[in-house]
Amino acid sequence: MIAALTLVSGQQPLIAWHTDEELPACDLIVLPGGFSHGDYLRSGAIAARAPVMNAVRRAADSGVMILGVCNGFQMLTEAGLLPGALMRNAGLTFVCKEVRLQIANTDTAFTKYYDKDEVIRCPVAHHDGNYFADAQTLEEIEGNGQVVFRYAEGTNPNGSINDIAGIMNTKRNVLGMMPHPENLIEPAHGGTDGRRLFEAALKMVQSRAA
């Protein structure tokens, strides 16, 4: 993730540690993938209660753009910044493969450089990516256009309800997604399908700073 942000923005991002209680002034916060605290209890559950997450909550409330990928998505749901939960994959196995990802909503700061219903390639690597929400919550996020990404063309790797791969909050500044767009941003990766997400987000950051 650090390499992707550096490559697209042209500068090294600031790095925060989970014990930090404050964050520097910033326009974009990224919670990367990984296996925080060994995924004990539930994936992201311990990390969601780390001191730094209080600062992330304050930033989210103030309108700062936040992106959580894979374990970052799990942290956002566990912290209550996004609705629903990420459960164990339906097949009960770790999945590491490339999927087809449909852009369900382009009216966001992260997806405005894609076309509505465009299908792109994107890698996944997770054991607990099965998105679930109760019926009322699901109806709300579907009705509000909060579903941003869906697994397309039968490539749902984890059993996520409604093929959901990524969602936003109602304020449209917090995005969580299970696939890893940062792993497909340059030709050396075999494609650049994920690059436009970072280009769009950084363009929004630049326009806000201007």
Task: For the chain, give every domain's residue range.
Answer: 2-209
What is the pTM assigned to this prediction?
0.95
Residue-wise pLDDT for 123-181, tens only, equals 999 999 999 999 999 999 999 999 999 999 999 999 999 999 999 999 999 999 999 99
2-209 belongs to which homologous superfamily? Class I glutamine amidotransferase (GATase) domain (3.40.50.880)
105 pLDDT higher than 70: yes
Which of 140, 153, 180, 186 is the catalytic position?
180
Q: Which of 18, 21, 182, 186 is catalytic?
A: 182
Place of tokens 């014990």: 19
Q: pLDDT tens across 44-101, in order?
A: 999 999 999 999 999 999 999 999 999 999 999 999 999 999 999 999 999 999 999 9
Q: For residues 174 and 177, what is the distance between their CA atoms, to the nearest angstrom?
A: 10
Q: 69 forms bridges with which residues in the sheet? A: 177
Residues 6 or more apart whose Cβ sits within 8 Å of residue 34: 70, 71
Query: Which of 70, 98, 126, 127 does the annotation list as catalytic?
Result: 70
pLDDT band at residue 189, thresholds of 50, 70 and 90? confident
Q: What is the pLDDT of residue 152?
A: 98
CA atoms within 13 A on the CB side of 86: 33
Residue 70 is a catalytic residue = yes
The predicted pLDDT at position 210 comes to: 63
Look up 182 and say whether it is catalytic: yes
- At residue 208, does pLDDT exceed 80? no
Phi, psi of 86 (to 5 degrees): -105, 115
Strands (E), the chain: 28-31, 65-69, 85-87, 95-103, 119-126, 130-132, 147-151, 164-168, 174-177
CA angle in degrees (0–180, nearest 5) for 115-121-126: 125
Q: How confident is the model at residue 206 (pLDDT cuts 50, 70, 90)?
A: confident
